[in-house]
Chain A
Amino acid sequence: MATPVGFFTDTTLCIGCKACEVACKEWNQLPDNPIQFRDSYDNTGQLDQRNFRHVRFVEQATSNPDKPIAWSMMSDVCKHCANASCLEVCPTDAIIRTEFDTVYIQQDVCNGCRDCIAACPYGVIGFDSTSGTAKKCTFCYDRLQNNKMPACAQACPTQSIKFGNLADLRKMAADRVQALQAQGVTQARIYGDTEYGGLHAFFLLTDKPEAYALPNAESAVLPGRNDVPGYLAVAVTAVLGAIGGLVAFRRRGERA
């Protein structure tokens, strides 16, 4: 197995240029987005089958009257979770873990059941009605196999998106948080060290995860948590239903 790879996205360096989105679309030959007028510079909207990268413009009100709105930008992407919800539920094994420890949807195996879309806690996966399959960031699997870095990381002009060996990136991220906190950015934190067993695409944030539409540690839970309680409820209902049937059918039978 090759060395596990990752993306470390430092949101404090993101300028919202969307070079990553363009490079991703170009390399992966993704279709254009339909024209929409949104009340924001964020005209991409969300991650889906057309957008494997999405520069999120997080607009927040401030107490400064000269600067009433502050922007935090974050280039969002599939997190390639160590414990991936999509991979857990996929009934056809179309979703696999690659030799680079990333999560990949095999387009020739996926039958478009969309269970992975229901399971992904980050809303990353979209359904492509043309191919009839689920699609998301491939971590540029084809480029990795040819020793090239993913297109988005290569295009990023500010080094906000860093690609490399996962262990090295985690060390780099920890150092960066320490440096920012020393400079007074006390809100600086890493998202993705522990969530879903550790994310392969993790982020340096300057606000709580919810502000970036990321589930917090309590909410980052796997779909399988409902497996046993759900089946238990079925079993109890089945027993009670059978008792109901026994009472209704047998008693009258005895009277006859």
Chain B
Amino acid sequence: MLTEHFVAAPHWEWYILAYFVAAGLSGGAYVMGTMLRLWGDARDLPASRLAFFISWPLLLVCPILLTLDLGQPTRFWHMLIDSRTAGLAFKSWSPMSVGAWALLIYGIFSTVMFVVALGETRSTPALLPRLSRVGGTLVGRAVMVVGALFAVFVSAYTGVLLAVSNQPVWSDTWTLGGLFLASGLSGASALILLLARPRQDAMATDEKLLEADRYFIILELVLIALFFVTLGGVLTRVLSGGWLVLWLVVLVGTVVPLLVHWRPEWRRRLSPNLAPILVLLGVLALRAVVIFSPQS
């Protein structure tokens, strides 16, 4: 049975939307970089490096956006340290608390992989190539995989955070975490595709990224369907008025790229950058409609 709501809105708005997008894409990019290294071949290394190059700056934006959204930005550290006891502030049952710690730990892994990727490129200081050799070892791979677990968490926990509330829509579904992860992976694939195309060395992975993106989009569409089904009576909150425009962007940002990816002849007819740009617009629209519609 669906819960009847008499709640107030938390007014999580633009900073939070930007954070959700940045966290989703950063985590997704790290996971893509890891998968390309684990399962791809030598020709995929440039695309993998690009993934880690994308992941790190997007991650750097995240704590800035979160801090700006606080009513008391100078108390951002209260998320990690108990200001009364100076002990650690960690609550496993509060996604916001776990998320703050996950973001910090993921930041370390993302930085390490950024440095490793940088070391693999030419024209970098002498120390970096030595560091980059660690990336190929068993320990390096283990570090990368553990980092990917935190990347998955950072990309997805924002959906769980919304669900762990008493707000209409958010708390009426269990799908948001999975949906944000699928959308983050799809968006990261699109971003890597966009940035890889002007680079000759990363072009080799183009077809693989297109195929991966197809799977992620299918996963996202299934989760969107589950999202609607689980909402039941409150579905009208997200499917009314102006919100339909955002859903249309989500639809165009999933179905059109899916068809374009599938049909090489359509891809040749259209601009190669069209599908990735639509995917990224869909990523933004999905989070916007989920964040804003229940609070309106």
Contacts and interface: CB of A to CB of B under 8 A. Distances in A.
B212 interface: yes
Interface in A200-250: 210, 213-216, 218-219, 221, 223-224, 226-227, 229-234, 236-238, 240-242, 244-250
Contacts of B36: 249
A236 B178 contact: yes
Contacts of B70: 111-113, 132
A90 B44 contact: no
At the interface, is chain B mostly helix, strand, loop or mixed?
A: helix
Given A121-B5, A244-B212, A230 B78 contact: no
Interface stretch (A18-26, A122-130, A148-156): A122-130
Contacts of B185: 241
Given A224-B164, A256-B43, A215 B10 contact: no
B288 to A, nearest CB: 17
B121 interface: no
A234 B160 contact: yes
A216 B4 contact: yes
Contacts of B236: none
Contacts of A250: 39-40
B89 A91 contact: yes
A252 B160 contact: no
A245 B48 CA distance: 13
Interface residues on A, range: 35 or more
Nearest to A210: B4
Given A133-B71, A232-B174, A244-B212, A111 B78 contact: yes
A25 B223 CA distance: 47
A224 B93 contact: yes
Interface string A170-184: 000000000000000
A129 to B, nearest CB: 7
Interface residues on B, range: 35 or more
A88 B78 contact: no
A252 B164 contact: no
A14 interface: no
Contacts of B5: 121, 215, 219
Given A113-B70, A131-B71, A230-B160, A253 B41 contact: yes
Contacts of A119: 164-166
B157 A234 contact: yes
Contacts, number: 225
A85 interface: yes
Contacts of A127: 10-11, 71
A99 B288 CA distance: 42
B39 to A, nearest CB: 4
A236 B11 CA distance: 30
Contacts of A246: 35, 39
A138 interface: no
A94 interface: yes
B225 interface: no
B177 interface: yes
A70 interface: no
A215 B174 CA distance: 21
Interface stretch (B56-64, B95-103, B132-140, B192-200): B95-103
Contacts of A59: none
Interface in B178-216: 178-179, 181-182, 185, 207-209, 211-212, 215-216
Given A111-B75, A250-B39, A226 B171 contact: yes
Interface in B76-134: 76, 78-79, 82-84, 89, 91, 93-97, 100
Contact of A249 (B3, B4, B8, B39): B39
B14 interface: no
18 contacts: A48-B8, A91-B97, A110-B71, A119-B166, A121-B5, A122-B6, A123-B8, A132-B72, A223-B165, A230-B176, A231-B160, A233-B176, A236-B178, A241-B181, A247-B215, A249-B208, A249-B212, A253-B39
A221 B3 CA distance: 8
Interface string B31-68: 11001100111011000000000000000000000000
A144 interface: no
A231 B11 CA distance: 24
A140 interface: no
B174 A229 contact: yes
A256 to B, nearest CB: 5
Contacts of B12: 114, 118
Given A115-B94, A223-B166, A237-B223, A244 B216 contact: yes
